[in-house]
Each structure stands twice: as C-alpha cells, then as structure tokens.
C-alpha cells in the first residue's frame, strides 16, 4: 500500500490518483508551521487541513492525525475530539500514537464507529520521553515492548498500524505477528505499506534529510531559484512586461465573466 502525507488542497489533488491513503499528519507542525516538534499542533489546525484534503481527494482513503493532548487523558476525551474531526472533516479514519496504554481508547473509539490507525515505534508526540528522535527497538526489552504495543493496538481493532523508525528486523516481525497491515516509515521493506512525509519526498523541507527518506524532487531548491529570479526581474524592471498589463485592446478582446471579476 502507498501512503503519503498531505496538508493542502493542491497536494491532495496531485497525489489522489496515485496513493491508497492520504495521511493528514501532525508533522505539519514542523513542515508547515515551523515548530520544533508536533506538540504545539491543535485540533483546530488538524480540522482545517483535514477539510482541505478531504475536499480535494476523490478516491484515496483520508486519515487525519489526532494531535497531542486531544486523546490521551481518557477514552471519553478521545471520543469528543475524534467525533469533532470525523464530523468536521469528513475523513475516513483517525490515527493516534501509542501502544498498550492506548489500547482501551482505540477499542472505545472503534466500538463507537470511529476507524482507527495505530502508530508505534518512534512516536513523535512522546519526543520528551524518548529524549529525541533516535530509532527505537535497540535493546531486546525495547523491541519486546514495541511488539507488545503493536499486538495490543491490533487486538483493540485498529485497521492498520504505522511503524516508525525501528531497528530491523522488528518491523518485519511485527508485520508477521499482527493480522492488520503495517505501514512503515524508516521501518522495513517487509511492511505491508510505506508512508513518507511529502515535504521530504519533494525536497520542500530540505534543512536535513533523514536516512529513511528518498527524495524524488528538489522543490525547495527550485522554489528559491524561482523566487530569486522574480525578485531580480522586479528590481531590474523586467517584470511586469507589457504582456502582463491590461491595455485597451486586450480589455476589449477578453471580457471577464462576473465570476472571474469577483475573484480578481
């Protein structure tokens, strides 16, 4: 399965024909909003971006991330947040981070009609507990705990589980052990599917490149080049040229419709 993140209408529209699922990830806190972690992302932010993505996709399954603080306190609290996201975005399901400790909440949501995707391994909302973004499952105890987390979330009824940044062969073993699809990110080619953050894939976020990312374009570099060229053209008086201006003759030839008049 092919999953990819999107936070906006144009990116959702571009990927919709190619991917099985679109994840409106809370990674948007870092990639779009310039935050240091995902901890500052709010439910309102996820709903606004979730809505844009749902509106702009026709066939892919859209999953929205539950942000930090919106579901951890209790299953009831999680339901209130989850119901808002489902009702206000129209998405197909939600993703939340955590293992054994979140299993009761996952079961509670699913019993009330909310499809859930789990997320184990490196769970970025727990960055302060991990002390950074290091790969997880380095020791036998750590690997055992992540395996138990994945099993607990699958038992609770999650329809897929994202496995993030774990040491192989852990994700391979999890994929064999759980009856639902695993979606890897920095995990294993043996996972049932893969997900990446679009900004990493396109090189939009190019401050650094995580080892597990493969870049398919250099949009960040091209964007800087284009903006630099525009700035140079304006300063040199090369833009706008006559072709970009409205003259009597062009105004006569093309009468704008009422709709386009309103927009411009």
Give the footprint of ligand KIV on this chain (CB under 6 A): 5, 23, 25-27, 65, 162, 164, 185, 195, 197
C-beta of 9 vs 213, nearer to ligand KIV: 213
Helix axes 140-155, 170-177, angle to 10 degrees: 30
Alpha carbon distance 78, 84 (integer Å): 10
Q: For the residues of 218-262, what is the DSSP string, one character each?
A: -HHHHHHHHHHHHHHHHHHT-SS-GGGS--HHHHHH-PPPHHHHH
The dihedral through the CA atoms of 47, 183, 113, 146 has a sign that is negative
Nearer to ligand KIV, 38 or 105 (CB): 38
12 vs 162, which CB is nearer to ligand KIV? 162
Q: Respond yes or no: is residue 248 known to be catalytic.
A: no
| Nearest approach, Cβ of residue 185 and ligand KIV (Å) | 5
- List the Cα angle 15/17/18 in 5-degree steps: 65
Question: Burial letters for 68-98: b for 16+ Cβ neighbours within 10 Å, e otherwise?
Answer: bebbbeebeebbebbeebbebbebbbbbbbb
Minimum CB–partner distance for residue 172 and ligand KIV (Å): 18
Residues 6 or more apart whose CB falls under 8 angstroms from that of 126 comprise 97, 98
3-class DSSP assignment, residue 138: coil
We find the least distance from the C-beta atom of residue 119 to ligand KIV, in angstroms, to be 6
- The number of beta carbons lying within 10 Å of the beta carbon of residue 48 is 14
- Output 26 or 149, the one with its CB closest to ligand KIV: 26
| Cβ at position 165, least distance to ligand KIV in Å | 9
In whole angstroms, what is the distance from residue 28 CA to residue 76 CA? 26
- The least CB distance from residue 221 to ligand KIV, in Å, is 22
Query: For ligand KIV, which residue has the nearest CB?
Result: 25
Catalytic residue among 164, 218, 243, 248: 164
Residue with tokens 């650094």: 208
Pick the closest to residue 67 from 51, 88, 43 (CA basis): 43
Type and span of the H or E element at 8: none
CB nearer ligand KIV, residue 167 or residue 197 = 197
List the catalytic residues: 164
């Amino acid at each position: 399965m092919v999953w990819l993140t999107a936070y906006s209408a144009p990116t959702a529209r571009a990927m919709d024909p190619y991917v099985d699922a679109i994840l409106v990830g809370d990674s948007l806190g870092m990639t779009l909003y310039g935050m240091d972690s995902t901890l500052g992302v709010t439910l309102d932010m996820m709903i606004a971006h979730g809505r844009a993505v749902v509106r702009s996709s026709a066939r892919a399954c859209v999953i929205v991330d539950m942000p930090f603080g919106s579901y951890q306190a209790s299953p009831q609290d999680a339901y209130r947040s989850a119901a808002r996201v489902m009702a206000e975005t129209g998405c197909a399901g939600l993703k939340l981070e955590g293992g054994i400790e979140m299993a009761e909440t996952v079961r509670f949501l699913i019993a009330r009609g909310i499809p859930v995707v789990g997320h184990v391994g490196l769970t970025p909302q727990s960055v302060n507990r991990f002390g950074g973004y290091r790969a997880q499952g380095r020791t036998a105890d750590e690997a055992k705990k992540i395996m138990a987390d994945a099993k607990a979330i699958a038992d609770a009824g999650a329809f897929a589980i994202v496995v993030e940044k774990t040491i192989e062969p852990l994700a391979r073993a999890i994929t064999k052990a759980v009856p639902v699809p695993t979606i890897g990110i920095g995990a294993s080619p043996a996972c049932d599917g893969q997900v990446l953050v679009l900004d990493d894939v396109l090189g939009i976020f190019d401050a650094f490149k995580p080892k597990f990312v493969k870049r398919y374009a250099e949009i960040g570099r091209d964007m800087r080049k284009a903006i630099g060229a525009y700035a140079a053209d304006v300063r040199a008086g090369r833009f706008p040229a006559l072709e970009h201006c409205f003259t009597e003759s062009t105004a006569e030839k093309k009468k704008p419709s009422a709709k386009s008049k309103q927009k411009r």
